[in-house]
């Protein structure tokens, strides 16, 4: 699993993350919530752990999982570059239409090899 984005691409993994907001949960609990076979849950948790989305502590035979924020912050950081854009989107659209308006209906442009 190369990137955090691939990790959160999987619906069940996103479900696990959402499940862990605010509450630690054992594997068994997660299993019951997601209604997914236990090995599948363990596998997803492994991926999440390796990517740093969650960490576990041992409680007898149980492993209790909880969220760790770093990778999610990474996603947030990636989104940052678009925020300025989408808040400015309306304005940009206006300027664009403006330009379209004032330029004389682009007719010829091969533009490659002049």
Partner DNA sequence: CAAGCATATACTCCTTGGGTTATATATGAG
Partner DNA sequence: CTCATATATAACCCAAGGAGTATATGCTTG
| Cβ pair 70, 59 in contact under 8 A | no
61 in contact with DNA (CB under 7 A): yes
100 in contact with DNA (CB under 7 A): no
113 in contact with DNA (CB under 7 A): yes
How far apart are the C-alpha atoms of 43 and 37, rounded to whole Å?
10
Q: Find the distance separating the first CA and the last CA of the chain, reported in whole Å.
A: 46
Nearer to its own copies, 40 or 79 (CB): 79
Select the residue interacting with DNA from 5, 14, 18, 37 (CB under 7 A).
37
CA dihedral of 72, 49, 42, 12, whole degrees rounded to 10: 10
Binding mask 11-30 for its own copies (x = CB under 8 A): x--x--xx--xx-----x--
How far apart are the C-alpha atoms of 55 and 67, rounded to whole Å?
7
- Using the contact rule CB under 7 A, the part of the chain among 16-24, 30-38, 82-90, 96-104 near DNA is 30-38
């Amino acid at each position: 699993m190369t990137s955090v984005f691939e990790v959160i691409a999987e619906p069940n993994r996103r479900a696990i993350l959402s499940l862990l907001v605010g509450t630690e949960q054992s594997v068994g609990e997660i299993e019951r919530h997601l209604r997914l076979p236990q090995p599948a849950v363990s596998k997803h948790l492994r991926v999440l752990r390796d990517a740093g989305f969650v960490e576990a502590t041992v409680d007898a035979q149980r492993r209790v999982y909880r969220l760790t924020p770093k990778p999610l912050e990474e996603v947030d950081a990636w989104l940052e570059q678009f925020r300025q854009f989408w808040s400015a989107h309306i304005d940009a659209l206006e300027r664009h239409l403006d330009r379209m308006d004032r330029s004389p209906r682009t007719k010829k442009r091969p533009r490659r090899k002049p």
